[in-house]
Amino acid sequence: MLFRKDNSSHGHDPETPDGTLVAGPPEAETGSVLTVDCAAIVRNWKKLSNHAAPAECAAVVKADAYGCGLEPVTQALHAAGCQTFFVAHIAEARQLRDALADVTIYVANGIPAGEAHVFAEINAEPVIGNLAELAEWDAFRAGSKWEGGAALHFDTGMNRLGLDINEAAAIAERTKVQNHGISLVMSHFAASDEPGHPFNAHQVQALRDIRQLFPHIPASLANSSGIFLGASAHFDIVRPGIALYGGNPTPWTDNPMEPAVELKARIVQTRTIPDGATVGYNTTWTARRPTRVAIATTGYADGYPRPAGTSDTLTGGFAMVGGQRCPVIGRVSMDLLAIDVTDVPDQTNGKRRGDVVTLLGDGITIDDLAGWGRTISWDILTRLGKRCHRVWKN
């Protein structure tokens, strides 16, 4: 990631004079600004950590910390006390190790064939999910004398990654020798966002049974929503992801987390259209009155969901313009979207070329945007910001 010193510099100094980090194209040269509040992410982590205590609270930072920026997010979390991080791929682990020298890094997708040696090079730990990986890891450790650890992921019903639970007893025999190299036993919830789902209790019990075979090794099951299922789900380490970044881990009630991401875009043109005129591709939205339309410089190429515009038959999303919620209308284009600003006073920000509107933040949450886009907040976050001017606040 190329950090910039200010909006015009092309240097590599990551901080502005006030300590704010910036990256991506200069603000004047791109269509939108994505701001990540690292202090809010830290506060969310602390809240989750307190809720799960005495279990350790790790942080899931795969996919560039859910699109929020791996280096600034992990450095802020580490400064707050987070010592354990989960990523998906070796490349992410390598990037994280370059940023932080003294943390534990687990690579959830395991060992690519023939790549066990990389874990020793960067001092990361694979999450092993099948016997072929385990055999490769054993052979590497024996041949190299590497004494680094690995996690064992047992499938308790997700039927995605993981060792068969029937293999647990045989694998547990290895823990009777010194330097066995197993540092964590874990599984993954399939329905923790539904607190009454009977499968949650099934998975908790399954991991409890497995843990008895590995009595001196930490265990982990809870993701963001799992943390709120109660102490029985916490085990020794919890692994929040989406909740760190402001997503609601308790969709059955109000969101206990702080918003951490804001997306703003510039207005490049406004126009008044008559009653009966249409907006956007395929004429999906029709004006029912003379309408003032503002065109903002963000679209689905920036991660704003294409289905989020209001049509004649479906209610879509909103943008904040001058403190008012204004409908996003018509189909979202690759680089542009349209906003009905008819009811915004003429001299208000958002009515003129060069004004700024808020697409995420100021009361619009990532869960709101996900709902309008008929997707999930994970999808929204990981798609945002690839060509935005990006700002990290501490």
Active-site annotation, residues:
62, 281
- Residue type present at position 49: S
Counting Cα atoms < 13 Å in the Cβ hemisphere of 320 gives 14
Spatial distance between the Cα atoms of 205 and 197, rounded to a whole number of angstroms: 14
Phi-psi domain of 9 (left: phi exceeds 0; alpha: psi -120 through 50; beta: other): beta
Spatial distance between the Cα atoms of 214 and 216, rounded to a whole number of angstroms: 6
Q: Where are the alpha helices (DSSP H) in the chain?
A: 38-52, 62-66, 70-80, 90-99, 116-122, 131-144, 168-172, 198-213, 366-372, 377-383
Pick from 210, 240, 244, 195: nearest CA to 222: 240
Residue 12: how many CB atoms within 10 A of its CB?
Answer: 9
Contact residues for 105 (Cβ-Cβ < 8 A; gap 6+): 85, 86, 87, 93, 96, 97, 122, 123, 124, 125
Residue 160: how many CB atoms within 10 A of its CB?
Answer: 10
Enter the DSSP assignment of 18: T
- How far is C-alpha 83 from the chain's CA centre? 18
List beta partners, residue 272: 292
Find out whether 352 and 231 touch, Cβ atoms under 8 Å.
no
